[in-house]
Structure 1
Amino acid sequence: MTRTQNETGRRGLSFAGGMWSFGRIIDRYATDGYGPEVSTLRTIEIAAETGELTGLDLNYPFDPDVSVDDVRKALDTHGLKAVNITPVIYDRGFRNGAFTGPDAATRHRAIDLGHEAVEVAHALGARYVKFWPGQDGYDYPFQVDYPTLYRHAVEGIGDIARTHPQVTFAIEYKLKEPRNRLFWSTAAASLLAVEQMGADNVGLVVDFGHSLLAKENPAQALSLAHSMGRLVDIELDDNYREWDDDLTAGSLHLVETLEFLHVVRTLDWQEPLKLDLFPYREDPRDAVRESVAALRALDVRAALLPLDELRAAQERHDAMAAQRIVRTALLGGRATTS
């Protein structure tokens, strides 16, 4: 009998989400948002209403009148965990850059917020602190001195990480937005910078959609980060490769998502897969449920892949044999050859 991933005894998938998916979502046209304002505590409640999530990625600071203890109680009440804390270093206050901004006081403010996030993560029992330096980059040629930008980006996060050697940190890379060019742009560029940072407790979040946007193969990027010992978390969504659309997982790139889940299986990933969704016009609960349903169905298909046959085809670089294997697992039918 051909060996498949069903025989590995791997537990079923579990899922987490980003709290932003359940709040007011805005863009540069509907600047007043596509829905009402949603409080920190209400986002936790809505997330729990999906019935599919075990934890949340929490943006910090919370609402001014909400304490860390309030958040902990809300999470406990709704049976959710804090997966990680993401300090908000990408809003208007950091519009010229957080760790890489030209103003030293602003850079120090970003570092201070990173230290605060560590304390919040400890209080809530979060697994790691995530940095998404969405303002750390530039927009025009000649706008910045690249060595200085590089030094500030690496030293800012590196200084926080070295101050808290027992805490895990992750950087979520992205090619662009809100800056036209972000420093932490691709898996390879980010891994190189992390290695030069010299901090063993810093790794990457590999976001499927960000990898598509960067014209990467998401499964390859995931494998690369893991091979370097720098994979901290995994996020899933979908897009048209031109923008970070954050559509429901599996809505566009089925084969690439299947390969991504296949790599997740080969890594024996045990943490919840995180959904990074922006349901501008959809009910966020429905968006989560549809994403989970699609990923569970694709994971079932990934489990059907005959590993020995697939590996043999890969060793030969036999594209058509691999395509037959994938097509049969995904669509059914017979894996016939001429």
Structure 2
Amino acid sequence: MSNLRFGAGIWHFATYVDRYATDGYGDSRSILDAIELAGKVDDLSVVDLNYPFFGGDFTNEQVKTALEAQNLSVIGITPEIYTKVFRKGAFTNPDPGVRRLAHDLITEAADVVRYFGADYVKLWPGQDGWDYPFQVNHRRLWELSLEGLGQLAEENPDLKFVVEYKPREPRNHMSFDSVSRTLLGIEKIGLPNIGILLDFGHALYGGESPADSAQLAIDYGRLFGMDVNDNLRSWDDDMIAGTVHPIELMEFFHVLRSNNWEGVWQLDQFPFREDSVDAANMAIDFLKRIDAALNRLDVEELTAAQEAQDAVKANRLVQQALYGG
């Protein structure tokens, strides 16, 4: 594949807290600090920005100036519809006033997408869902999810909206929890400008094959974007891409290439204890190795092996392409 473009969520270069290290892993950084760090990564050309911008009261113009200084552009804007005010949900909050706040924040983010000429509004409704049996009326919860998403897409037909699904966290069960459920919801809404952002690690964590999930989303014309990372499958660890599941990562990109899917190869990693620039460079270096291996892969032989469901032959071909020898 030629003309590869690499991106990253700007949060890759922020600082993190968890429920143990509540004082954080590293010094506090603003979005301008994070952009400066992102500019130090080799071959990084685009970023996904949280909105509102973190670490200060920054204008679009200030952020644009910082991006231009690092030769970076914006692929997406991610409105923060998962913070404390939305702790009982954004689209699914029982308070219609809070649902309106979510709608208004996403509408503001849509204007930021237009300002930067980005590709999409990215929606990660992490607080939409439930925690306990009998806590919610499941029909009503799903209706609210689709109504909120559908209204925004209908009001902004010039923009793409991508939904990033995930099984759980912060809610014990998220409404958009899998590729199949998310596709069902999108197809029920029936608007052309809603799609999926497929997070490789979320698919792993949900017990999916990321390659199979990508194929399903492509078959419905709904794969609008993707993030890559890695994890140990029991949690959304957001580790460096390729460190745990290199073969499945290669299969994922093989599916994208086989379908002529073109888009940014984007990192969604949380290097809590690692140097963020080194972690990004390591991931991008491995993604380049994946691309080179796909160039070497004997697709005709692989197709024949797959037609016969010959797992040994197929994996031997893949290992030779990726590892050599």
Bigger relative contact order (CA 8 A; separation at least 6)? 1
Equivalent of 1:269 in 258, 261, 264: 261
Deviation at 1:197, TM superposition (A): 1.2
Q: Is 2:28 aligned against 1:37? A: yes
Deviation at 1:279, TM superposition (A): 0.4
Unaligned runs of 5+ in 2: none
Could you tell me which amino acid in structure 2 is paired with residue 16 of structure 1?
G
For residues 141 and 168 of structure 2, what CA distance do their matches in structure 1 show?
Answer: 16
- 1:3 is aligned to none
Could you tell me which amino acid in structure 2 is paired with residue 127 of structure 1?
D
Deviation at 1:300, TM superposition (A): 1.2
Q: What pairs with 1:1-338 in structure 2 (closer than 5 Å)?
A: 10-63=1-54, 64-333=56-325
Deviation at 1:311, TM superposition (A): 0.9
Could you tell me which amino acid in structure 1 is paired with residue 278 of structure 2?
D
List per-residue Cα deviations over 1:87-121 (Å, max 9, x = no partner).
Answer: 00011111111110111111111011111111011
Greater displacement, 24-33 / 230-239? 24-33
Deviation at 1:14, TM superposition (A): 2.1
For residues 80 and 191 of structure 1, what CA distance do their matches in structure 2 show?
Answer: 32
Secondary structure of 2:319's match? helix
TM-score (normalizing by structure 1): 0.94
Secondary structure of 1:59's match? strand
For residues 3 and 162 of structure 2, what CA distance do their matches in structure 1 show?
Answer: 25
Aligned structure 1 segments of 4 or more residues deviating by more than 3 angstroms: none
Could you tell me which amino acid in structure 2 is paired with residue 111 of structure 1?
H
Could you tell me which amino acid in structure 2 is paired with residue 154 of structure 1?
L
Deviation at 1:331, TM superposition (A): 2.9
Could you tell me which amino acid in structure 2 is paired with residue 184 of structure 1?
F
For residues 50 and 271 of structure 2, what CA distance do their matches in structure 1 show?
Answer: 17
TM-score (normalizing by structure 2): 0.97
List per-residue Cα deviations over 1:34-71 (Å, max 9, x = no partner).
Answer: 01110111111111111231010000011442001111
For residues 217 and 285 of structure 2, what CA distance do their matches in structure 1 show?
Answer: 27
Contact 1:99 1:157 in 2 (8 A): yes
Contact 1:57 1:84 in 2 (8 A): yes
List per-residue Cα deviations over 1:230-255 (Å, max 9, x = no partner).
Answer: 01101100000010100000000011
> Superposition RMSD on alpha carbons, in Å?
1.1
For residues 171 and 160 of structure 2, what CA distance do their matches in structure 1 show?
Answer: 26
Deviation at 1:12, TM superposition (A): 4.2
Unaligned runs of 5+ in 1: 1-9, 334-338
For residues 186 and 261 of structure 2, what CA distance do their matches in structure 1 show?
Answer: 22
Secondary structure of 1:85's match? strand
Contact 2:289 2:322 in 1 (8 A): no
